Structure 1
Amino acid sequence: MHDLPTHLWYSITSFGGAGLTLPLAIAIALWLALGYTWRMAAAWLVLLGAAIGVVTLTKLAFLGWGVGVRELDFTGLSGHAALSTAVYPVALFLLLLPARPAFRLGGVALGLVVGITVSFSRVVIDAHSPSEAITGCIVGAVTALMFVRWSWDAAPGRLSTVPVAVSLMMLTVGLHGVHLPTQRWVTHIALKVSGHERPFIRARWKASHNNRANAAPLSQTQNTLSAPVLPNERTERNV
């Protein structure tokens, strides 16, 4: 599986982008409100908002203050992993809500497989470390499973499966590959809140650990942490 062409891995990772998953999440909320209850729609948005908040806070902590775990190469949860493992299981659950429990359970499992595949792709294309992809995947999966558990016994709604399926499929096809500059937005917020002129960068952040081990002066370490990104450095990638 790891030997798939690079362009295919980039295509897979695009299924976790905010430009696709956020519109899908909003569409899910609208269908829940129209076909079931506004409480279900609100619960879904609150849970997803909490997951996005956790992802954002970890990224702000690193970009603004250098808070991370060097031993795990962790600089913040993967947003692609969290969003994909949250949205796709719930989308399939919504489609299969009128069906028998076994089909609903199968749909949720398939959605989780999609999210896990997207999470794995983030590691393959060197966009995130394994720890970041795994933790993002866990947060997204917990979000989806909490909503599914809460909504499992929902009364049959007024929705026909066909329009829901068509609308979600059209969004998926139409918005696949659409990019939102989420990392730029988070970086801008981190700098505003922290008061720093430059964000912390993974490579220099890891290198600073070696500098301290070699008893480098504090001023030198600080300069290393806040130095600008060089063109040939791997930067922290999209949410």
Structure 2
Amino acid sequence: MNWHTITFLGDSTMTIPGACILALWLGANRMWRQMFAWLLAFGTAMSIVVISKLLFMGWGITLPGLNFTGFSGHTASSSALYLSIALLLTQDGSRTRRALVLALTAVLVTAVGLSRLMIKVHSESEVLLGLLVGAAAAWGFGLSLRQSAPPLRHLLLPVGLAAVLMMTGFDKPAPTQSFLQELAKNLSGRSEPYMRHEPL
């Protein structure tokens, strides 16, 4: 199994454009309340991830007793995005169909989290808490889903946009970690960011 391929499903080059496409699709279908709920839920989850990383990198602030340097962004963003899409696409389906799709999606986002452990870039606590943050964002978005979803034919636009993104250079991991390290140094005034000392 290629863990690097699986982990890329949670990279910001995938999830941030995906989040924007979902918001645009909701707006195009005049699902304004759902669009704003999605932007709020995803934005809040990603803000929590970024703040947790900056607190550690800039000031060494962490959760006591845990090998924790910040929520796993790959895990949080993938669980927020993919679970939200699953909730949206199954809102008018049977309970059995919804449960099956959500279960398969949960397996997918769990695999993304597991890949972060397998390639040794996150600890168990970072992945688990990332899953919880992302799932909470999807749950918050799901609360806004009260009107029927648009017909499946309206999925052609977001699917087409996603395909174009995949074919035009969105195939390399985003340099988010190095960017956050530089930001943490600038904010804290340190010459070097705090780094993990405990083994993974």
- Normalising by structure 2, report the TM-score: 0.88
Is the 8 Å Cα contact of residues 14 and 176 (structure 1) preserved in structure 2? no
Cα distance in 1 for partners of 2:162, 2:86 equals 11
Q: Which protein shows a greater Rg?
A: 1
Q: Which amino acid aligns with 1:94?
A: L
Which consecutive residues of structure 1, in runs of 5 or more, have no partner in the other structure? 208-233, 235-239
Greater RCO, CA 8 A, separation 6+: 2
Counterpart-to-counterpart distance in 1, 2:106 and 2:151: 26
CA contact (8 A) 1:35 1:159 kept: no
TM-score of the aligned structures, taking structure 1 as reference length? 0.74
Q: 1:102 & 1:46 partners in 2: Cα distance? A: 29
Higher mean displacement: 49-58 or 98-107: 98-107
- In 1, Cα distance between equivalents of 2:170 and 2:82: 14
Alignment map for 1:88-107 (pairs within 5 Å): 88-107=82-101
Tell me which amino acid in the other structure corresponds to 1:26. Answer: C
Q: How does 1:223-234 map to 2 (within 5 A)?
A: none
The CA deviation string for residues 143-177 of structure 1, in whole angstroms up to 9 with x for no partner, is 112211331x2234366255157337626854764
The alignment covers a number of residue pairs equal to 199
Change in Cα spacing, 1:63 to 1:35, as seen in structure 2 (3 Å) is same
Question: Which residue does 1:59 correspond to in 2?
Answer: 53
1: distance between equivalents of 2:117 and 2:8? 13
Q: Which residue matches 1:178? A: 172
- In the alignment, the residues of structure 1 paired with residue 66 and residue 164 of structure 2 have an alpha-carbon distance, to the nearest angstrom, of 36
* Aligned counterparts, 1:35-184, within 5 A: 35-69=29-63, 71-151=65-145, 153-157=146-150, 160=153, 162-163=155-156, 166-167=159-160, 170=163, 173-174=166-167, 177-184=171-178
Return the match for 1:26 from 9, 20, 40: 20
User: How many angstroms apart in 2 are the aligned matches of 1:165 and 1:92?
Assistant: 14
Percent identical among aligned pairs is 34
Structure 2 gaps, min length 5: none
